[in-house]
Amino acid sequence: MAGQGSGGADCLNAHRINADRSDAGRSTVLAAVVPGLRGVLGWLVLAWVLVATPALAADLSRKQRTLLEQTQIAYAGVIRWGTMEDALGYLDPVQQKANPPTEFELSRYDQIRISGYRERTSAAMPDGTMERRVEVGVINVNTQAERTVTIVERWRWDPQAKRWWQTAGLPDFWRGQ
């Protein structure tokens, strides 16, 4: 019986040794993960720089970049949750005057609901405008069928009004790209 008691103690000691080893393993794993986190943070910074570069490349002031971002967020909210009549306020007045949407065109938007609105790319154009490609989820109210459409928005800075105008017109959810 004494042998069994010492065997139990040996077993207990073996568990303690294994626990110590697993703790050491954890610190080794942690040491390996921390540099990995640094790598992830590096990739995130690089991704941010690539996203921010188009706005910087367009030689925009900080205020213009901030206003562009705020305007695009507000416009996305209007497209996603508002009405197309509300979205008209974001359209370039010069283009809106030259090519105003008809009542029929506006009434088509009543047949759909927007289920998602995600920016995919953004780029500065040579003429100083900003182009943004957006993926939009569109649901037909009558059939409840959903599809995804890619929309291209173009944004122009108006120095007199000190604001951004969307120059591509209302989104065409029926043709898409």
Same-domain check for residues 80 and 53 = no
Between 13-17, 76-80, 105-109, 169-173, the lowest mean confidence (pLDDT) is in: 13-17
Residue 117 belongs to some domain of the structure:
yes
Tell me whether strands 112-124 and 146-158 are parallel, antiparallel or unpaired: unpaired
Same-domain check for residues 82 and 135 = yes
Same-domain check for residues 109 and 135 = yes
pLDDT value at residue 34: 52
Residue 7 belongs to some domain of the structure:
yes
Model pLDDT for residues 119-166, shown as the tens digit of each residue: 999 999 999 999 999 999 999 999 999 999 999 999 999 999 999 999
Closest CA to 118 of 83, 176, 72: 72
Query: Does residue 91 carry a pLDDT above 90?
Result: yes
Same-domain check for residues 18 and 88 = no
pLDDT value at residue 53: 46
Domain-terminating residue out of 57, 79, 102 = 57
Q: What's the CA gap between 30 and 20, in Å, rounded? A: 15
Number of compact structural domains in the chain: 2
* Structural domain for 95, as ranges: 60-166
Tokens 């569109």, residue located: 138
Same-domain check for residues 50 and 79 = no
What are the tokens at 50?
Answer: 């690539």
The model scores a pTM over 0.85: no
State phi, psi for 122 to the nearest 5 degrees: -145, 135
State phi, psi for 170 to the nearest 5 degrees: -65, 150
Model pLDDT for residues 158-172, shown as the tens digit of each residue: 999 999 999 999 999
Residue 171 belongs to some domain of the structure:
no
Same-domain check for residues 34 and 100 = no
Query: Does residue 116 carry a pLDDT above 70?
Result: yes
Q: What's the CA gap between 176 and 160, in Å, rounded? A: 32
Residue 155 belongs to some domain of the structure:
yes
Tell me whether strands 112-124 and 163-166 are parallel, antiparallel or unpaired: unpaired
Same-domain check for residues 127 and 50 = no
Domain-terminating residue out of 42, 57, 72 = 57
pLDDT value at residue 60: 83
Residue 125 belongs to some domain of the structure:
yes
- Domain of 155, CATH number, reads 3.10.450.100
Same-domain check for residues 15 and 64 = no
Same-domain check for residues 115 and 80 = yes
Model pLDDT for residues 9-48, shown as the tens digit of each residue: 554 455 455 545 545 554 454 445 555 555 555 555 444 5
Same-domain check for residues 50 and 78 = no
Average pLDDT over residues 69-81: 97
Q: What's the CA gap between 6 and 71, in Å, rounded? A: 76
Contact 101, 170 (CB under 8 A): yes
Domain-terminating residue out of 57, 84, 105 = 57
Model pLDDT for residues 58-74, shown as the tens digit of each residue: 578 999 999 999 999 99
Three-class DSSP labels, the chain: CHHHHHHHHHHHHHHHHHHHHHHHHHHHHHHHHHHHHHHHHHHHHHHHHHHHHHHHHCCCCHHHHHHHHHHHHHHHHHHHHCCHHHHHHHECHHHHHHCCCCHHHHHHHHHEEEEEEEEEEEEECCCCCEEEEEEEEEEECCCCCEEEEEEEEEEEEECCCCEEEECCCCCCCCCCC
Same-domain check for residues 44 and 108 = no
